Amino acid sequence: MLITIPDVLSPEHLAQCRARLDAAEWVDGNVTSGHQSARAKSNEQVPEESDAAREVGGAIMQALSSHPTFMAAALPQHVFPPLFNRYGVGHRFGAHIDNSIRQHRQSGARIRTDLSATLFFAGPEEYDGGELVIEDNFGTQKVKLPAGHLVLYPASSLHHVTEVTRGRRMGAFFWIQSMIRDDGQRRILWDMDQAIQQLTLSVPEHPSLVSLTGTYHNLLRRWADV
């Protein structure tokens, strides 16, 4: 499933993070590429061991940990620390599928990449091109979100970033190992969660709420890989 999550970062936090990233060192984006990606990738990246990457990544992780939509959609078990890239004029990232396992350089910790996430730091008015194009069983989706918004999608999806023709695209990208490995099961739980939330708002005393909530947790108990 593909889910967009608005306002992961407030305008104040977004401005602080952008200022920190603007002042950071940027290097060739292929420092974290595998063989497949390196052949298709043209962008810049903040080194993951840099102070800027750790500070802004920490701010993102803190925001996500208290964001109910992200928690309900991803059901995260482990989150890979965010990385940061930017695309200037002529930069692009060809079609690829993300590596199934990512290893953090400093800690050596490995995660299975069930979900990929992109958090936009530049708004669509700041650049032309640079759409994230994602292909999966939900069809082909072009994603270009306001600054501070996030898109979450299966890491197994074929995806690419179109060439930037004006301005500069900047964002964070990272991966999530979910408690629910299977995307179809995760979709069922997300749909149930949303139905329960809607019913709670519209008919808070509805007798089915207890049963539906119990069914949600029984499915989570059955499917969770923890």
* Residue 96 assigned to a binding site: yes
CB 115 within 8 A of CB 75: no
Bridge partners, residue 120, by sequence: 171
3-state secondary structure of 47: coil
**What is the Cα–Cα distance from 66 to 118, expressed in whole angstroms?**
18
* Residue 136 assigned to a binding site: no
* Residue 193 assigned to a binding site: no
Residue list, annotated binding site for 2-oxoglutarate: 169
Residue list, annotated binding site: 96, 98, 159, 169
Residue list, annotated binding site for Fe cation: 96, 98, 159
